[in-house]
Structure 1
Amino acid sequence: MLLSALACGAVVFPGLYFSFRAVLRRLFPKWSDADVVFVSERLVSAVHGSLATAAGVIIVMSCKDVMKDNHWLVNSFTIFGAPYMTFDIFAMYLSHFHTQRAKSPTAYGHSLQTVRAFLYKDWVLVLHHVALLSVFMPITLFFRRGLGDFFIGCFFTTEFSTPFVSIGKILIQRGLDDTRLHRLNGLIVLLTFFTCRILIFPFMYWTFGRQFGIPLVKVAFHLPLHCNLGNVVILAPQVYWFILLVKKAKRLYLRQKKAKTNGEKEKNRIEDR
């Protein structure tokens, strides 16, 4: 069953990527290669995020005992998603390559320097994917001893914000970052990211404490040290990314407010004449 899930993931995600590229080229012939490749990569990311969220919700709703209840989706979706994590690194590299090539068509090609530039630019996301493959996946499949499926389901639901993040990046890529749709999507990103990537941690501690009659403030003292450290390691980048999102939203708001103010001043100046 696990080999079938692995094979399925290895077919589905690259297949979706190249299908999106073909469809976008046909629908939008004036788009550049950079646009087509970037949007295709973000669409696949949105699909994976949606599937992970759905799997997580099913697992969380099915596990009444947070420690001992099991669900077949935990191992199956972990294996199914592994090819996505591997392929997405390649897809991100292609996006970087075509974006840079659009700026310098004759001077930019595939090389070790290009790979280094990509890794330098997107090292956080690459590290995130590598950590999921090298740390999260082995722990989920081999070292949990069948315990804690509920918590793995909670971690799956952290992908709920991913489709909205992808939509936002697509809108920016297409020069639509000053639209009402982008502002609305940005608000949804902040809400979903904060809820499913930050508040999910106190929720997991609260659920554990409720089952065993432990107050929330004392739950951490009843868990092994490695569990708490693992959660801190996972939570830290989420807080970092959320701060970046808030700063970006603030810059966008101030820029649009300044543009609106300048527009009103220019309108008043014209009317005065």
Structure 2
Amino acid sequence: MLAALVYGAVVFPGLFCSCRKLLRSAFTQWTEADVVSVSERLVSAVHASFATAAGVIVVTSCRDVMYDSHWLVNGFVLFGAPYMANDLYAMYLSHYHTQKVKGHASSYGRHSLQTVKAFLIKEWMLVLHHAVLLLIFMPITLFFRRGLGDFFIGCLFMAEFSTPFISIGKILIQLGFDDTLLHRINGIVVLLSFFTCRILVFPFMYWTYGRQFGIPLHRVALHLPLHCNVGNLVILAPQIYWFILLLKKANRLYLRQRRGRGGGHKDKPCTD
């Protein structure tokens, strides 16, 4: 399994560096903030695609939701760990270069503890999310589950299904396609996939557990250890928060486009 960790440590940083080089060459008018941001999104989409595929394989292979196991669970957790670390670095770089572009030269002339602190304050929830996955859920998955519940870990892998569409939306905005039919369709897919795979997946897991053991859905939580319910809540809570943000953003874009059409400015791009 150590090989999976090494492969991840090569694939994700290597892909991030390659994307930065290719984008600098292809889009010479872009700032470094643009290049880093899109590179981060591309790598994120690749990781999410791998995670979704691994999740589908695990879930369809485990008939017993508690005791069936699949080698991909531990293998992909180790393979994806370097991605989490690399994504934290990429998010910091994106924040750093974006602030420089906005003119905060005095604070962002070079990397320092001050720039790191500003990043942690602004993106604290995403940083916390990555840190919890790396420092808490990864050790639990690898060492403390006693080989139980691979089906549920596979379901959590599939929660990444919405991520490529979120990345596509950001990239379309970067390319100037934010006021197109393609961007609107992608936005609908983002909302549907996020709600289905990141929120409804939790009642689905409880339902499958209850079906196997003959427990009604509303009583499943009472039959599970407290730490299982707490762990699910810790993962679910930020998903609900981010889904609300997505709904608010979609509503803002809809209202702007509606006002644009009403004012006769059909060709004016909608920016966020």
TM over 0.5: yes
Given that residues 35 and 174 in structure 1 are in contact (C-alpha distance below 8 angstroms), is that contact kept between their aligned partners in structure 2?
no
Aligned to 1:143: 144
Aligned to 1:62: 61
| 1:62 maps to amino acid | S
Residues of 2 paired with 1:3 and 1:51: CA distance?
18
- TM-score, structure 1 as length reference: 0.93
Unaligned runs of 5+ in 2: 267-272
- Offset, 1:264: 7.5
Aligned to 1:119: 120
| 2:93 maps to amino acid | L
Residues 235-254 of structure 1 aligned to structure 2 (within 5 Å): 235-254=236-255
Aligned to 2:8: 9
Q: Give per-residue Cα distances to partners, 1:189-248, cap 9 Å, x unaligned.
A: 000000000000111011111111111122111111211121112111111111111111
Q: State the identity %.
A: 72
Residues of 2 paired with 1:205 and 1:105: CA distance?
48
Residues of 1 paired with 2:168 and 2:248: CA distance?
18
| 1:216 maps to amino acid | L
Given that residues 50 and 160 in structure 1 are in contact (C-alpha distance below 8 angstroms), is that contact kept between their aligned partners in structure 2?
yes
Q: Structure 1 residues 213 and 262, CA, compared in 2 at 3 Å: closer, same or farther?
A: same
- Offset, 1:173: 3.1
CA RMSD, 1 decimal: 1.4
Residues of 1 paired with 2:58 and 2:145: CA distance?
16
| 2:30 maps to amino acid | W
Unaligned runs of 5+ in 1: 266-273
Aligned to 1:169: 170
Aligned to 1:269: none
- TM-score, structure 2 as length reference: 0.94
Q: Give per-residue Cα distances to partners, 1:97-119, cap 9 Å, x unaligned.
A: 11111222753221221111111
| 1:66 maps to amino acid | V
- Offset, 1:175: 3.7
Residues of 1 paired with 2:218 and 2:206: CA distance?
9
| 1:54 maps to amino acid | A
Residues 82-161 of structure 1 aligned to structure 2 (within 5 Å): 82-104=81-103, 106-107=105-106, 108-109=108-109, 110-161=111-162
Residues 70-85 of structure 1 aligned to structure 2 (within 5 Å): 70-85=69-84
Residues of 1 paired with 2:124 and 2:265: CA distance?
42
Q: Structure 1 residues 14 and 264, CA, compared in 2 at 3 Å: closer, same or farther?
A: closer
Given that residues 55 and 77 in structure 1 are in contact (C-alpha distance below 8 angstroms), is that contact kept between their aligned partners in structure 2?
yes
* Larger-Rg structure: 1
Aligned to 1:270: none
Residues of 1 paired with 2:176 and 2:126: CA distance?
23
SS of 1:263 mapped into structure 2: coil
- Offset, 1:7: 0.5
Residues paired across the two proteins, number: 264
Alignment partner of 1:225 is 2:226: yes
